């Protein structure tokens, strides 16, 4: 039920108290973002800036947008996926923290785009995307808004791929910061965040045992590496499928079985796609699966499993548990898919834990500061962040973990800057 209200569009304002409690719980495990918030509150680097954010509406995102607001920005938020919204968080943001939020878990496609448009109606100067949907909407349907935008931030690999394609075609109308490509983002969030939250999502949806099961990891990028590693840690026999020979070789040397999907399809118990590509589990793979096989996706878009093809081939015969769909194939075999092929970690669980989003969102906040500060010198391309941002975030994170490291001696500094000394 949508509650009538003056601001935002959320499910139920009555969920506010629960949202506040959970947002504070996450904040307690985000020490680097807290430090950025304190710095922003003093320095006001985003003063006078209107920000339009399209992100998964989670407790961790709530702490990011509160940080942006502390830095002086006026912030508007919508969901970057119809199933990933935490309704209590949306209620708390809108009715406690003064951040208008347009997001309802389970919203249909029309409502999803209505919410993106509501954020764009505010004429943001800086946008923040997780998957590049806001930028795409501006460039395709709301071109008049480009002139207000000084920069955009992008959180995820899939979004960066889309934005680089826009850059190549020469259609980008403002600079973009590739937050995903900062080391303090993808090395930790994509690997350890996705690793843990994907296992979490599959287990919360199915309560199946991983130990002794054949888990097929489709794709061996940073997310696939994390999921394969954590599945092995739970006692699964892990198979990796890949199209990139270097990544496939890496998986082999990391000790995983590697084979084509057509073979893996026949032996897997649990399949998870993490590729950023479409139909990586296709109809012929579903056909080949063992009875009881479970397929899901942890890549950004819901097209990694060819569910439209599956719906033509098979009959959906039930939903034995929330987020679990049961399909009967023409052979009589039954297989399962999770969360309508959407991100299983954010749909059936809560996404990455706060302690890893701490780094991702500290980088996001600092990227916004960087973009606003350097708006005049950034051209309409996809830009990487300077190394100092990664070093600042990593140094602080290590400090909060009580981990010390060494520094170069003057002799070592001189040696690294020279070339004369050799064998
Ligand atoms: N992406 C993955 N996990 C997330 C989380 N907890 N919050 C926001 N975005 C995410």
Per-residue pLDDT reduced to its tens digit, 393-412: 999 999 999 999 999 999 99
Q: Are residues 149 and 207 in the same domain?
A: no
101 in any annotated domain: yes
Q: Are residues 171 and 224 in the same domain?
A: no
Quick one: pLDDT at residue 3?
Answer: 38
Q: Is the pLDDT of residue 249 over 70?
A: yes
321 in any annotated domain: yes
pLDDT band with cut points at 50, 70 and 90 for residue 2: very low
Edge-first strand listing for the sheet containing 382-383: 100-102, 74-79, 50-55, 126-129, 151-154, 176-178, 382-383
Edge-first strand listing for the sheet containing 214-218: 257-258, 237-241, 214-218, 270-273, 294-297, 334-338, 324-328, 315-321
Task: For the beta carbon of residue 151, count every other beta carbon within 10 angstroms.
Answer: 23
Q: Is the pLDDT of residue 6 over 70?
A: no
164 in any annotated domain: yes
What angle separates helix 59-70 from helix 87-95, to the nearest 10 degrees?
20
Q: Are residues 152 and 225 in the same domain?
A: no
Q: Are residues 231 and 257 in the same domain?
A: yes
Domains in the chain: how many in total?
2
pLDDT band with cut points at 50, 70 and 90 for residue 373: very high
Taking only the tens place, the pLDDT of each residue in 193-230 is: 999 999 999 999 999 999 999 999 999 999 999 999 99
Q: Are residues 341 and 383 in the same domain?
A: no
Quick one: pLDDT at residue 7?
Answer: 84
How many CA atoms are closer than 13 Å to the CA of 31, on its beta-carbon side? 9
How many CA atoms are closer than 13 Å to the CA of 369, on its beta-carbon side? 23
Q: Are residues 152 and 285 in the same domain?
A: no
Whether residue 22 has its Cβ less than 6 Å from ligand 1 = no
Q: Are residues 153 and 221 in the same domain?
A: no
Of 281, 313, 347, which closes a domain? 347
Task: For the beta carbon of residue 287, count every other beta carbon within 10 angstroms.
Answer: 17
Task: For the beta carbon of residue 72, count every other beta carbon within 10 angstroms.
Answer: 16
Nearest to 314 by CA among 306, 302, 322: 306
Atom of ligand 1 nearest to the CA of 156: 1
Q: Reduced to 3 states, what is the DSSP secondary structure of residue 362?
A: helix
Whether residue 204 has its Cβ less than 6 Å from ligand 1 = no
CA of 379 to the centre of ligand 1 (A): 29
The domain of 33 spans 13-185+352-400
Q: Is the pLDDT of residue 1 over 90?
A: no
Q: Are residues 17 and 89 in the same domain?
A: yes
Q: Are residues 267 and 371 in the same domain?
A: no
Quick one: pLDDT at residue 4?
Answer: 38
Choose the residue to mutate in 154, 193, 274, 349 for probing ligand 1, maximizing ligand atoms within 8 Å of C-beta: 193
- Please report, for the domain that includes residue 74, its CATH number: 3.40.50.1480
Nearest to 185 by CA among 156, 151, 158: 156
CA of 57 to the centre of ligand 1 (A): 8
Of 302, 329, 347, which closes a domain? 347
Q: Are residues 94 and 234 in the same domain?
A: no
Q: Are residues 99 and 220 in the same domain?
A: no
CA of 352 to the centre of ligand 1 (A): 5
CA of 377 to the centre of ligand 1 (A): 31
CA of 16 to the centre of ligand 1 (A): 20
420 in any annotated domain: no
48 in any annotated domain: yes
63 in any annotated domain: yes
Q: Are residues 88 and 206 in the same domain?
A: no
Nearest to 63 by CA among 88, 91, 30: 30
Taking only the tens place, the pLDDT of each residue in 90-139 is: 999 999 999 999 999 999 999 999 999 999 999 999 999 999 999 999 99
Nearest to 284 by CA among 310, 312, 317: 310
Q: 351: exposed, middle or buried (C-beta count within 10 Å: 0-12, 13-18, 19+)? A: buried
- Please report, for the domain that includes residue 230, its CATH number: 3.40.50.720
Whether residue 352 has its Cβ less than 6 Å from ligand 1 = yes
Choose the residue to mutate in 348, 351, 360, 363 for probing ligand 1, maximizing ligand atoms within 8 Å of C-beta: 351
Of 318, 347, 376, which closes a domain? 347
């Amino acid at each position: 039920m949508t509650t009538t209200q003056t601001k935002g569009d959320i499910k139920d304002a009555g969920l506010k108290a629960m949202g506040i409690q959970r947002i504070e719980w996450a904040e307690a495990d985000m020490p680097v973002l807290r430090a950025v918030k304190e710095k922003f509150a003093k320095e006001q680097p985003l003063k006078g800036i209107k920000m339009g954010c399209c992100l998964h509406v989670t407790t961790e995102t709530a702490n990011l947008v509160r940080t942006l607001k502390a830095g002086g920005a006026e912030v508007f938020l919508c969901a970057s996926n119809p199933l990933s919204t935490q309704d209590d968080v949306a209620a708390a943001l809108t009715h406690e923290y003064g951040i208008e939020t347009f997001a309802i878990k389970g919203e249909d496609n029309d409502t999803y785009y209505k919410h993106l448009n509501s954020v764009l109606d505010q004429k943001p100067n800086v946008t923040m995307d997780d998957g590049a949907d806001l930028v795409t909407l501006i460039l395709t349907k709301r071109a008049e808004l480009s002139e207000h935008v000084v920069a955009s931030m992008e959180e995820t690999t899939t979004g960066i791929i889309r934005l680089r394609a826009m850059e190549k075609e020469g259609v980008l109308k403002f600079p973009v910061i590739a937050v995903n490509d900062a080391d303090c983002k993808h090395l930790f969030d994509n690997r350890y965040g996705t690793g843990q939250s994907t296992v979490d999502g599959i287990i919360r949806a199915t309560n199946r045992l991983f130990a002794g099961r054949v888990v097929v990891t489709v794709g061996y990028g940073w997310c696939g590496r994390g999921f394969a590693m954590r599945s092995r840690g739970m006692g699964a026999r892990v198979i990796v499928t890949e199209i990139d020979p270097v990544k496939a070789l890496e998986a082999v040397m990391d000790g995983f079985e590697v084979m084509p999907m057509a073979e893996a399809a026949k032996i897997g118990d649990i399949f998870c796609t993490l590729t950023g590509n479409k139909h990586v589990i296709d109809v012929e793979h579903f056909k080949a699966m063992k009875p009881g096989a479970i397929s899901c996706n942890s890549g950004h878009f819901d097209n990694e499993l060819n569910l439209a093809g599956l719906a033509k081939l098979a009959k959906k015969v039930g939903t034995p548990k929330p987020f679990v769909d049961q399909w009967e194939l023409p052979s009589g075999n039954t297989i399962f898919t999770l969360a309508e092929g959407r991100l299983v970690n954010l749909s059936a669980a809560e996404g990455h834990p706060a302690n890893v989003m701490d780094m991702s969102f500290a980088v996001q906040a600092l990227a916004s500061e960087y973009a606003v500060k350097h708006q005049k010198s950034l051209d309409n391309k996809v830009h990487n962040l300077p190394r100092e941002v990664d070093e600042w975030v990593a140094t602080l994170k290590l400090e909060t973990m009580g981990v010390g490291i060494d520094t170069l001696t003057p002799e070592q500094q001189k040696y690294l800057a020279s070339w004369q000394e050799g064998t």
